[in-house]
Structure 1
Amino acid sequence: MRVLMLSWEYPPVVVGGLGRHVHALAVHLAAAGHDVVVIGRQPSGTDAETHPTTDRVVDGVRVLAVAEDPAHLEFERDLVAWTLAMGHAQLRAALTRLGDWRPDVVHAHDWLVAHAAITLADALGVPLVATVHATEAGRHAGWLSSPLSRQVHSVEWWLARRADAVITCSAAMRDEAVELFDVDPAKVRVLHNGITPQDWRVPARRVAATRERLAPDGAPLLLYFGRLEYEKGVQDLIAALPRIRRSHPGTRLAIAGTGTATDMLRETARRHRVLRSVAFLGHLPDGELPAAVAAADAVVLPSRYEPFGIVALEAAAAGAPLVTSTAGGLGELVEDGRTGLSFEPGDVTGIVRAVRTVLDDPAAAAERAGAARERLATDFDWARIAAATAQVYAAAPIGGPQELPRPKIPTGNVFGLE
């Protein structure tokens, strides 16, 4: 099939797990013989002079990375306007650079590409498939209090309702999308994210060197890696650290990643008097991150909201013991007591208990880590996921253009929570 994907992040522009997901899916579809074109973007804050539109084939995938328009728009300050401008740039790239190439399906990844993807599917008369990677309501625990949140939610609703088929990365995300967007459950397919385990295998000497750098005194080492946002729950892990250190003196916490919660997390560490025991590593490049993950006594993922949790797969691939919340997809990925240890979202005492269990019995932790790694080859193989995605493409009907009203947005919590 000829597949046209649109995404607001694609390597080398990677913001979070979405970019890695789209890249792996595109590469494996291409390896299976499909003709794949991805329209992404250049880094935000650049322009057509410093970062012009590029058109190149990488790993068997044709990638159009569109330049930002001349308008002075900033992602952080003008999110909706910036997104519309990106959509216009992606649409122009499709119309002016693809020539006679015509897709059999348009695949939209998340709400930021909704306008361009819907327009292209309508104009070309092909099915529109949308992957819902997360929701605005989920990120804000069910509250859509700000104008921006309501705007984002309405675009998510539009994309999900217009799509001829919807993909979610977990059953929890499927249930959330069905409830929020009132879509027919029959048109939603759950396809987990995948992992390439060999990308996370690191020589023992590099792991040892990283361990020496992060915990030079041989003390226990905990690691969180991922985006630093409130919904990731890292503040709960920091709050648990003083109690963990009382039973396991010297325990250090390394935090790898960037995000809007960075300052809040530093203040949280200062308030709990563990700032010197917390290392904020910032963004670790792909060449360094696997060694840091493998060096940890436990990777702790304390998400309060998590559509899937691809970092859990990455930690398992690196052989690190997992301690995770049961939020969303994490509750499906980690089998408590068999492939890791779990706790309820926001449960600081649960974090303390689970981490202590890992540190008290390293042999049992290593056995769980081994079980988690073995599961990757069957349940989270990218080739199988790509084949299942192609089945969704082939079965998707052509719904054609639709004129939809604005969704009604509850004034209270959309999930009915207090």
Structure 2
Amino acid sequence: MLSWEFPPVVVGGLGRHVHQLSTALVAAGHQVTVVTRHRPGVPLEEYVDGVRVVRAPEDPPLFPLSTPSMLAWTMAFNHALTRAALRAAENGGYDVIHAHDWLVTHAAVTLKEHLDLPLVATVHATEAGRHQGWLPGETNRCIHSVEYWLGQEASRVLVCSGYMRWEVSRLLELPSATVEVVPNGVNSALWRAEPRAVAAARARYVGEGPVIGYAGRLVYEKGVQDLIAAIPKLRAAHPGLRVVIAGDGPYRRELAEEVRDRRLQRAVSFTGFLDEPDLAAVLAAMDAVVVPSIYEPFGMVALEAAAAGAPLAVASTGGLAEIVSPGVTGVVFPPKDPDGLADAVGGLLADPSFAARVAQDARVMVAERYGWAAIARRTVEAYGSALRHAPALDVKQVASMLAGSQRPPIEVPGGNLLSL
């Protein structure tokens, strides 16, 4: 497996996904090597829960991982990742390469050609989807072209929801037979916090009213700005309500400014990034956890919050709509609708017995449908499909397709048109 993040390097849900999937595959009797990036102070190679983890240190030239220099950083990272992966494969024995997202594409294609192995790619999100159907700048278009290349090179493309199967098939122009839905999973045991930790988290954040929370990256498409916009209406109905925003990201400053502009500093707490034990306790302490995403391929945090025992209020978008059954495992509201968000969350806060019931049903649903053993089995089935089919296209064919200027526009979610 190739991944740009793996614990202790965790940026978002992808790192946790790769960790849990790889350990579940090992538990099922498979041999797994994860090649990822290095963090100072961590071994360059070790076994973690039975998974061989090979970490590629950054080369001396400095390329910051930031938006203006992200493509340069990605190219440098892929050089280091390729060398580390080739060293790891010196003794052979591998059957398939599994690449996670576009940031490892160059290394994945190099290994596919050099080792003559089938390539499986998991597309966790798309650049067009993250920008509501637009590719506004050169960097966005470059990232999309890499995603397209990865999809065309892979024998099988895995996505986390039916929504993403539709999106990826159209955006990357893939036959539906090559795109398979394998949902994300959750280890429920990891999200059951100790009662003392939950009590401490609640004592820290609860004031004179209820407390609701958000967890995830602080980027525009996660919709946290809509949660902030809904706070005045929620506080009018539920005096003393407080909001906990857990996570970090490039949009944090704008969100903090929005909180100040609305004079909500005493009502909103930004926790920064929390590790799993601390986050589990915070989620379990909430009277409701809100997932207000504008774009959400799956909604891993909804599973984690449900496993922690929190009542869910989610935007009815993307994969979230496939996880939460309205009135059964949570409540839903239209994306980009602060009033609808306030009404949905308010329904949970006004009826504690209803909130407790949907939280319990969601917890059971997560345990039954999203356990990692089942996810690993479905992934192995996809590997088998990849081994039985030849790679889709060679590099020259893909380059020729990307160079074409007369291809029709592709409709993407949200009603915008992506013209390639």
Q: What TM-score, normalized to structure 2? A: 0.94
Counting only pairs closer than 5 Å after superposition, residues 9-408 of structure 1 correspond to structure 2 as 9-43=5-39, 50=40, 54-76=44-66, 77-215=68-206, 217-396=207-386, 397-399=389-391, 401-403=394-396, 404-405=398-399, 406=402
Q: Match of 1:19, as an amino acid?
A: G
Cα deviation, 1:150-184, whole Å, max 9, x if unaligned, reads 00000000001111001000111111101101100
Contact 1:143 1:412 (8 Å CA) reproduced: no
Question: What is the SS of the residue equivalent to 2:395?
Answer: coil
Q: Match of 2:278, as an amino acid?
A: E
Contact 2:290 2:314 (8 Å CA) reproduced: yes
Contact 1:9 1:40 (8 Å CA) reproduced: yes
Moved more, 247-256 or 267-276: 267-276
Question: What is the SS of the residue equivalent to 2:117?
Answer: coil
Q: Name the CA distance, whole Å, in 2 between partners of 1:408 and 1:343.
A: 41
- 1:96 shift after superposition: 2.5
Q: Name the CA distance, whole Å, in 2 between partners of 1:411 and 1:63.
A: 43
2:4 aligned to which of 4, 8, 26: 8
- 1:411 shift after superposition: 11
1:279 to 1:408, Cα distance in 2 relative to 1, 3 A: farther
Unaligned runs of 5+ residues in structure 2 are none
Contact 1:143 1:414 (8 Å CA) reproduced: no
Contact 1:36 1:62 (8 Å CA) reproduced: yes
Q: Match of 1:417, as an amino acid?
A: N
- 1:287 shift after superposition: 2.4
Question: What is the SS of the residue equivalent to 1:254?
Answer: strand
Q: What TM-score, normalized to structure 1? A: 0.94
1:75 to 1:408, Cα distance in 2 relative to 1, 3 A: farther
Moved more, 158-167 or 395-404: 395-404
- 1:201 shift after superposition: 1.0
Contact 1:126 1:398 (8 Å CA) reproduced: no
Q: Name the CA distance, whole Å, in 2 between partners of 1:121 and 1:27.
A: 23
- 1:206 shift after superposition: 2.0
Cα deviation, 1:189-239, whole Å, max 9, x if unaligned, reads 001100111111122222112101111x34200100110000000000000
Q: Name the CA distance, whole Å, in 2 between partners of 1:98 and 1:136.
A: 31
Question: What is the SS of the residue equivalent to 1:57?
Answer: strand
Q: Name the CA distance, whole Å, in 2 between partners of 1:64 and 1:127.
A: 20
- 1:378 shift after superposition: 1.9
Q: Name the CA distance, whole Å, in 2 between partners of 1:17 and 1:407.
A: 33
Moved more, 133-142 or 273-282: 273-282
The percent of aligned pairs where both chains have the same amino acid is: 49
- 1:81 shift after superposition: 1.3
Contact 2:190 2:277 (8 Å CA) reproduced: no
Contact 2:170 2:410 (8 Å CA) reproduced: no
Contact 1:122 1:401 (8 Å CA) reproduced: no
Cα deviation, 1:300-337, whole Å, max 9, x if unaligned, reads 01000001110000000000000000121111111111
**Is 1:417 paired with 2:413?**
no
